[in-house]
Structure 1
Amino acid sequence: MKKLPFQLLGIMLTAICTTSAVAQAQHPSIAKIDNILVQDLQTLTSISHQGRKSGAQSPNISAQYIFAAFEQLGGNPSYQHFTFRAGIFSKDAGHNITATLPCTQPRCDKAIVISAHYDHLGTTGQRHYPGANDNASGVAAMLHMARQLSKTNRARDILFVATDAEERGLHGAKYYAKHLTQEVELNINLDMLGINNNNRLFALFSPGFKEYKTELQNKAKYQIKLTIVSSQRQIERYTNNPRIDWHKASDHYAFYRQGIPYIYFGMGEDKHHHTTRDTLDNMDLNKYQAGVNLINDFILSLTRSPLDSTS
């Protein structure tokens, strides 16, 4: 796909505002949700984004949309191009989008990386796979958090990566983590944040990693149940499905392989996963917003400078 002019991407980011009233009428729960968060969800799941399938030779419309969003908030984004094996004798191209909000203080703690994969299954004939929960939910949350963090004093560098080709083997995250040149304390991975009927958000800590559990527990005063787990056995008790290895189920595993601990936020299983019914209509947007707020407040607590107000 040819690169869209930046002016056109700017129009794409702002024109959706005019559809808010219509969208709220179609989905009543949107009324209590941050408008920009919903606009990102609507855009990434729209037909024009073609299911966000990986493998294009140049950044697709979704990658360009995310790039433009980071650029607008001052994240100095760039594309990270890579290739991955697509068959025995063939390779496909992938395109991560990276951005940075630098530390604003004379003394800085180690950086943290916030990740969310933007790729999904694409379209097959007339079948469109919107990928609302998997993983427009994580990407929209990451952009929301980046906007909040851009307004604060930061006591560490905040690195962002919207990864490509997660669905095909965590390829974007593997490439990014392997080529990190900066020392990183922690990966926070966001994947499938559309809270289910059990009203539960999981925070899976990497094996042996115990930092920040208290800070996270102190944030668990929202409309959803935050469940902090540290092992496959613990999460199996809640999901009742031993077939999924949550330690390896998303991009956080790529960071773990490089010696970087992680906290993975997700809802667990979704009956609409990898179907055409993974739509905004099947997400509870109020619960989603509550989960995003909880994670956002937690990340702010890890990055806030002492010079920030206590409000």
Structure 2
Amino acid sequence: MMNLLRIFVLIFCIESNLSFGQKIDAGQLLEDIAYLSSDELEGRKPLSEGGLKAMDYIKARFQALGLSSQYPDHTQYFDFRNRRDGKLYENAANIVAFIPGSQSEKIIVVMAHYDHIGRQGEKIFNGADDNASGAAAVMALASYYTKNRPQHSMMFVALDAEEMGHQGAKALVSDFPFPLQQVVLNINMDMISRNDDNQLYAVGTYHYPFLKPTMQKVSEGRSPELLFGHDQPDSGMQDWTLASDHSQFHLNGIPFIYFGVEDHEDYHQETDTFENIQPDFYVAAVELIADIINALDQTNLSEK
């Protein structure tokens, strides 16, 4: 990993060259992804020392922002059995924060998983794009909404154990602190920090087409280019409808949008490091996602 001096120099350069009005703190966003994908966290496997450090880091951010939670210490603990090795994992943890809406008790859940696959021998799988990028974005968006209260209530969730079968999302849905009918939209971010073609996918509008016009309007002429797809059966594209944590909301009939990029050469490789993200793309992607969430928040989602 690059040393801290190089990280701060990179952050300064990115901040100095951004030309759009920022809704998020770009420097903090890049600092967060750099830490979460550092060797110190050893790939953030659930219940590993690095995974626990990631959990504490995100929890501390939510607490510093003064965010409330329906779970003690912002932590929803859960147990699960890994379907691959049969091992029982006890006290895995989702980190959950909440902002009440100014006009509605209906809820938008904004989330990303913070775990990755850990290490194998001397190889560390840092998981910068997958999915330190999404976890850092959740913190950035939570920070933004503490200063800009949303119309809908918003829940911000950093999920554990996605890589072991969406276990954190399953636990969240099965032990949700409100009736699930109050959730009108799920936003999931999983791999949003790099794409050589400057393209970001928004998955889910095939199933929930009422979301698409607003998203098209917000994204028109923007960078990165927002594409739709990867959600229609028999389209010739890989179907991502059940590919990540949003699946658990979709299976309960809750509209979702999954933001992500197509797989790259470093997917699930030890080369998925901070050095290989594309900071300009990443910051612009999170800004675009923020604008889309804002626009959707200002619509009456409960009537759709």
Q: TM-score range by the shorter chain?
A: 0.7 to 0.9
Q: Check conservation: 2:218, 2:295, Cα contact below 8 A.
A: no
Q: 1:138 aligns with which of 129, 134, 138?
A: 134
Q: Give the distance between the partners of 2:89 and 2:186, measured in 1 at CA.
A: 26
Q: Which amino acid aligns with 1:135?
A: N
Partner of 1:15: none
Aligned to 1:97: 95
Q: 1:57 and 1:133, CA in 2 relative to 1: closer, same or farther beyond 3 A?
A: closer
Q: Distance in 2 between matches of 1:118 and 1:173?
A: 12
* Structure 2 residue matching 1:60: 3-state secondary structure: helix
When normalised by structure 1's length, the TM-score is 0.82
Amino acid of the structure 2 residue aligned with 1:92: Y
2:41 touches 2:49 (CA, 8 Å); kept in 1? no
Q: Over residues 136-195 of structure 1, what are the superposed CA-to-partner deviations in whole Å (9 max), with x where a residue is unaligned?
A: 010111111111111113211101111111001000101101222231001100000023
Match of 2:210 in 1: 211
Q: Distance in 2 between matches of 1:233 and 1:268?
A: 18
* Secondary structure in 2 matching 1:271: coil
RMSD value, Cα:
2.5
The alpha-carbon deviation at position 289 of structure 1 amounts to 0.9
Deviation at 1:97, TM superposition (A): 0.6
SS in 2 for 1:208: coil
User: Which residue among 283, 287, 297 is the counterpart of 1:293?
Assistant: 287
Q: CA deviation at 1:292?
A: 0.6
Question: Counterparts of 1:164 and 1:110 in 2: how far apart (Å)?
Answer: 24
CA spacing shift, 1:268–1:29, aligned 2, 3 Å:
farther
Where does residue 154 of structure 2 map in the other structure?
Answer: 158
| Partner Cα distance (2:149, 2:191) in 1 | 29
Which amino acid in the other structure matches residue 255 of structure 1?
F
Q: 1-side partners of 2:146 and 2:166: how far apart? A: 28
Structure 2 CA distance for partners of 1:159 and 1:27, relative to 1, 3 Å: closer
Q: Which 4+ residue blocks in structure 1 deviate beyond 6 angstroms?
A: none
Counterpart pick for 2:38 among 36, 42, 46: 46
Q: CA deviation at 1:30?
A: 3.5
Is the CA contact 1:29–1:284 (under 8 Å) kept in the aligned structure 2? no
How much has 1:28 moved relative to structure 2?
A: 8.2
8 Å CA contact 1:74–1:101 kept in 2: the answer is no
- Partners of 2:64 and 2:245 lie apart in 1 by 26
Deviation per residue, 1:201-231 (Å, 9 max, x gap): 0000165312221111112132211002241
Equivalent of residue 252 in structure 1, options 204, 223, 246:
246
Give runs of aligned pairs for residues 71-82 of structure 1, distance below 5 A. 71-77=63-69, 78-82=74-78
Structure 1 residue runs without a partner (length 5+): 1-17, 237-241, 306-311
> Aligned pair count?
279
5+ long unaligned stretches in structure 2: 19-25, 300-304
Tell me the TM-score normalised to structure 2 length: 0.84
Q: Structure 1 counterpart of 2:89, which letter?
A: D
Identity %: 34
